[in-house]
Amino acid sequence: MTSRRCLLSALALAIVGPALAAAEDPTDKLTRESTLIVIATPTAVRFVKDKEVIAGAKALDPKDPRVYRVLTETTFSVISVVKGDLAVRSLQLTHYSYDSASPIMVAPQLINFTAGSGTRYLMFLRSNDGIHYVVAGDEMNPANFIFQLRNE
């Protein structure tokens, strides 16, 4: 019975192994699709459009279960450039942020920043003009491309 299990395991590995080896690392794809990867801290936050309801999203507030988003421009001070133009010292990120007070149950992965907090973020971005940036992927889920770093 043990030799049969070993044979089945070896066969499964022979069939599935090449597919696993060929699978692309998501970090490699994210790095390739980014024109700028930086560590930066937010210095200013400005809402540029009125809030709107996110269809299909739900908040835990029984009085108003809707979840709102607002188009936001956040300015960052660049601490370090990992990939891209080494001369970049500040940048402007256009993204959606939440405008809902209650805890959110189901919604896209938006992100809110606090200007002047000193919080550092690793950000995978793309730009057409070298000044204004968006996340290097699905703009409705920016939290998948921006990672808060721990202060140590």
| Whole-number pLDDT of residue 81 | 95
Query: Would you call 53 exposed, middle or buried from its count of C-beta atoms within 10 A (0-12, 13-18, 19+)?
Result: exposed
Helix (DSSP H) and strand (DSSP E) numbers for the chain: 2, 9
Three-state DSSP class for residue 26: helix
Name the nearest CA neighbour of 33 among 150, 112, 123, 129.
123
The answer to whether 136 and 95 are in contact (CB under 8 A) is no
Percent of the chain with pLDDT over 90: 36
- pLDDT digit string (tens) for 33-72? 899 999 999 999 999 988 888 888 888 888 888 888 899 9
Query: Can you read off the two tokens belonging to residue 87?
Result: 């001369």
94-117: pLDDT as tens digits: 998 888 666 777 777 888 899 999
Lowest mean pLDDT of 11-15, 133-137, 139-143, name the range. Answer: 11-15
At 129, the pLDDT band (50, 70, 90 cuts) reads confident
Bigger pLDDT: 125 vs 150: 125
